[in-house]
Amino acid sequence: MNKRPTLSLKSAAKPAAPKMRASHARELKPALQTNFQTSLKPDALAYSLMGAANAIAQVRTGTNLPLALGHVWGRLPEITPQARGAMQDISYRAMRQLGQSEALVSLMAPKAPEPLVSALLSCALALLASPDEPRPYEDFTVVDQTVTAAESHPDTARAKGMVNAVLRRFLRERQALLDAVLLQPVAKWNYPQWWIDAAKTAWPQQWQAILASGNSAPPLTLRVNARHTTVEQYLAKLAAAGIGASQIGPYAVRLDKAVGVQLIPGFADGEVSVQDAGAQLAAPLLDVQNGMRVLDACAAPGGKTCHILELADADVTALDADAKRLARVGENLQRLQLKASLQAADAQNKDWWDGQQYDRILADVPCTASGIVRRHPDIRWLRRKADTLQLATLSGKILDNLWQMLAPGGKLLFVTCSLWPQESEAQAAAFAVRHQAVRLDAPGQLLPAGGSGQDHDGLFYALFQKNA
């Protein structure tokens, strides 16, 4: 029996939605129920669809997808690893196609559906309109299981007939419906309109490729631990385990097909870590030598902290404002058998600092994360246009504070995973002027890229030196 759940969703800022016809243009009501307790069996697609829909409904009211999935999984003691994987897969697909799915629903449903119904339809349509060939499930199975899922939950049961009608109509009129909605940029690109406009303004030549890249599934890229092995040796180890892979950076190996970390040879022993090839540029650029005092000022979860320590015997302080996230730096250091001092503190302040200047500072500042949307397809639906300026203001304060902690002759590496110049190049240029900082050679803006021999997220790097 489904219990009437009690927990209410955090009602955060209203999410951006694609253009809707008049009857849909009213505010979406926040979902009132997030407890996902079900009589469905974990091996049924309906079970995974309902779990994924629950997570998507939470994203639409401001919760990030990993957290939302965590809430759902936490309420399902009987869940299997397969069902967890299926929920993850469906919800990530749904995020990548949300603009299109919501536009389709807006075209077909007689009135705006309740949030959980809308989310369930988005999950089903992401499977039925999947760009993959073949599609992940038979059309008939998706429709049947979505209707079963709708029937199983008190928030969706009344909409069962409408769900059935919408999905069957989509199957009958697929091409005509798609042709109609794809005239809307939000449906075509699957980003909020302000995001599409920002990409066009910042990157007039590349915006389409950038948006398309954010909708692709990310590769699984590993960083080979230089203290343990070499890329050549590790590639041989992968080959022996029957795992296809290629080198795409000095320490970066991209697997041909993603696998769970438990299946990656040597992962538990610290031979490799999961890290995007673009992010792997940070530690070498920082040019850390043995014995240096290094501050990693926005360190969690510690990918770059660990890479620095794989390359040099340095005295590293890993600082992060989020104590929970900082604990993950500790876990990563432990797996890799590395040591750093962990400090939960705000990089805008000096109250935690012992007054001794650093030889190197890494400032991988908080940003909109617009360069890593292929890994986090929920970000585009969670961010607001005003976030860019707000985050740029915060990161400017962090940079100004850190500069005072840098020794004369020392280097500060400023990093963002943003595509927006306000957070990146404009910030770097203004910083250089404010502090008369010498700007050293660094990649600047790396747009997200795939293709032979490379594959990385969108990142920005600026390297500064303090006059001696």
Ligand X SMILES: C[S@@+](CC[C@H](N)C(=O)[O-])C[C@H]1O[C@@H](n2cnc3c(N)ncnc32)[C@H](O)[C@@H]1O
Interacting residue ranges for ligand X, rule: CB under 6 A: 279, 298-304, 319-322, 325, 346-348, 364, 366, 398, 417
- CB 254, min distance to ligand X, A: 18
- CB 321, min distance to ligand X, A: 4
Task: Pick the closer one to ligand X by CB: 192 or 303.
Answer: 303
Alpha helices in 215-253 (DSSP H): 231-240
Eight-state DSSP code of residue 77: T
The answer on whether 407 is annotated among ligand-binding residues is no
The answer on whether 15 is annotated among ligand-binding residues is no
Residue 463: name the closest of 426, 438, 433 by CA: 438
- The residue with its CB nearest to ligand X is 298
Residue 385: name the closest of 423, 429, 346, 345 by CA: 423
Q: What angle do CA 208, 214, 216 make, to 5 degrees?
A: 105
Selecting among 123, 306, 367, 417, the annotated active-site residue is 417
Q: What angle do CA 248, 254, 259 make, to 5 degrees?
A: 175
**Rounded to an integer, what distance in angstroms lies between the CA atom of residue 416 and that of residue 423?**
8
Task: Pick the closer one to ligand X by CB: 99 or 371.
Answer: 371
Task: Pick the closer one to ligand X by CB: 90 or 382.
Answer: 382
The answer on whether 300 is annotated among ligand-binding residues is yes
- CB 417, min distance to ligand X, A: 6
- CB 77, min distance to ligand X, A: 30
The answer on whether 346 is annotated among ligand-binding residues is yes
Helix or strand holding residue 362 (H, E): strand 358-364
- Structure token pair of residue 229: 């092995």
The answer on whether 411 is annotated among ligand-binding residues is no
Which residues does 163 contact at the CB level (< 8 Å), separation at least 6?
A: 117, 120, 121, 124, 146, 147, 150, 156
Task: Pick the closer one to ligand X by CB: 45 or 398.
Answer: 398
Task: Pick the closer one to ligand X by CB: 90 or 369.
Answer: 369
The answer on whether 192 is annotated among ligand-binding residues is no
Catalytic annotation on 417? Answer: yes
Q: Residues 229, 222: contact at Cβ < 8 Å?
A: no
**Rounded to an integer, what distance in angstroms lies between the CA atom of residue 234 and that of residue 345?**
37
Q: Is the N-terminal amide bond of 15 cis, ω within 30° of 0?
A: no
- CB 328, min distance to ligand X, A: 8
Q: Which residues are annotated as a binding site?
A: 298-304, 320, 346, 364
Q: Which residues are annotated as a binding site for S-adenosyl-L-methionine?
A: 298-304, 320, 346, 364
Catalytic residues: 417
